[in-house]
Homo-oligomer: A and B are copies of this chain.
C-alpha cells in the first residue's frame, strides 16, 4: 500500500516472555525476559494476554520431540486468551478490551504479556466464560469434540471406550458423550486413590470406570454389563492400555490414537484386524486445521464448546498460577511434584 498511513505505525508495549533459545528440558532452557516493543502493522492486533495453559505439546516442542519445530529463539505457549490492547488501521470488527484467542493455536508465543498477530489469527469470544477454561479450549476440549464427531456416527444409546480418562480430553469426552446420550467406558491407570477418581468421573457423567488392573482379571463382557459394545475407542496411552481399548470394541469398531503417554507402541493382533474388522486411526489437531476452511469450521466448534462452558455443562479442574511463578507451574506440569490439575498461567494479576 502506498498509503502513508501505514507508516504512522503503532507500537506494542514491551512484553515479558518465556523464551527458549535452544531445545532441551524446559526447566533448563526457558527463562523470562523482556522483549522490546514491536510495530503493530495495519492489519495486526496487539493482545494483552490474560491466561495461557501449559500443555504437553508446549513442553514437547521445547524438548524438541514434537513433530514440528519452531525457529529459535522462540516464546513458549500455543493457546490462551487475551484482551485487545491496540490494532492497526485496517482492522475491523474488534474493539479495545474484546476477548480473543489465537485460532488455530499459534505455533508459539502465548506465554508472554503482549502478543501481536494478524487480525485473521485471532478469534473473538464471549466474555462470560471462565477465563481458565477459555484459555485452554483449543487444544483439549476441541480434540475431545472432534474425536467424538469425525471418526464414526454415534447415536444416542451407543457406547465409546477410552483410556487416560482423567486427562482433560478424557473428562471432556465423558461430558460431551453424556450430552448426546452416548455411554462412556473409562479406563484409568491403577493408583492408590482410584475410588475417589472413579467417583469424580462418574459425577462428570461416566457410565463405567475401571482400572487397568481390574481389566486383567475381569472379562470385558462382565464390565460392559447391559451397555452395547463400543463403536469407537480413544487411546492416549499405548501399550497394554491400548490393547484394553481394542478388546472392548465391537465388530467393525474404530480406535483413534491421539497420544502415547506410556511411550509404548500400539499392538493389534492379525485376527482382530481381519476377523473383528477393526480400524486403527490417528488424530492430530494440527493436521486437521491445515486448511483455512477447517479453521473456520473449528471456530464454530470453539463457540459451541464455549457456550457449553458458559452453561456449566463442560468443565474440568484447573489451577491458575501467576505468570511470575512460571517455574512453579512448569514443575507441576512436568509432573515433578506429584499430580496436579492443568496449570494455567495468569497474566497481570497479583
Within 8 A of B (CB), among A274-313: 274-284, 287
CB proximity to B under 8 Å, residues A244-281: 257-260, 263, 265-281
Contact indicator A275/B284 (Cβ below 8 Å)? yes
Q: Is A141 an interface residue (CB 8 A)?
A: no
Evaluate whether A265 and B270 lie within 8 angstroms (CB atoms) in the complex, with A277-B282, A279-B279, A279-B281 already known: yes
Q: Mark A121-153, 1 if CB is under 8 A from B, else 0.
A: 000000000000000000000000000000000
Chain B residue nearest in CB terms to A287: B277
User: A238 in the interface, Cβ–Cβ < 8 Å?
Assistant: yes
Contacts of A260 in B (CB 8 A): 269-271, 274
Task: Give the distance to chain B from A191, nearest Cβ to Cβ, in Å.
Answer: 22
Chain B proximity mask over A54-71: 1 for CB below 8 Å, otherwise 0: 000000000000010000
Nearest CB in chain B to that of A270: its residue:
B260
| Complexed CA–CA distance, A284 and B280 (Å) | 16
Known A-B contacts A275-B284, A280-B280, A281-B279; A268 and B266 likewise in contact (beta carbons under 8 Å): yes
CB nearest neighbor in B for A266:
B268
Looking at A260, A273, A279, which has the most chain B CB atoms within 10 Å of its CB?
Answer: A273
Complex CA distance for A280 and B266, rounded to whole angstroms = 11
Question: Size of chain A's interface in residues, with CB distance under 8 A?
Answer: 28
A279 to B281, alpha carbons, bound, how many Å?
5
Question: 1/0 per position for A22-48, CB-CB distance to B under 8 A?
Answer: 000000000000000000000000000
> Within the complex, what minimum Cβ distance (angstroms) separates A198 from chain B?
26
A-B CB proximity, top 4 nearest: A260-B270, A273-B282, A280-B280, A67-B275
A267-B270 CB under 8 A given contacts A275-B67, A275-B284, A280-B279: no
Task: Identify A268's interface contact among B67, B263, B265, B276, CB under 8 A.
Answer: B265
Give chain B nearest CB distance to A61 CB in angstroms.
13
Please, which residue of chain B has its CB at the minimum distance from the CB of A285? B274
In the bound complex, residues from chain B placing their C-beta under 8 Å from that of A257 are 270, 273-274
Q: In the complex the two chains form, is A270's CB within 8 Å of B259's CB?
A: yes
A241 CB to nearest chain B CB (Å): 12
Cα A280 to Cα B282 in complex, Å, equals: 9
Name the B residues within 8 Å of A281 (CB-CB).
273, 279-280
Q: What's the least CB distance linking A30 to chain B, in Å?
A: 24
Minimum CB–CB distance for A67 against chain B, Å: 4
> Which residue from B67, B273, B283 sits with its C-beta under 8 Å from A280?
B273
**Residues of the B chain whose Cβ atoms lie less than 8 Å from the Cβ of A274:** 67, 257-260, 282-284
Of the A-B pairs whose beta carbons lie under 8 Å apart in the complex, a sample of 18, sorted by A's number, is A67-B271, A257-B270, A257-B274, A263-B270, A265-B267, A265-B270, A266-B270, A266-B273, A267-B268, A273-B280, A274-B284, A276-B282, A277-B282, A277-B284, A277-B287, A278-B282, A279-B279, A279-B280
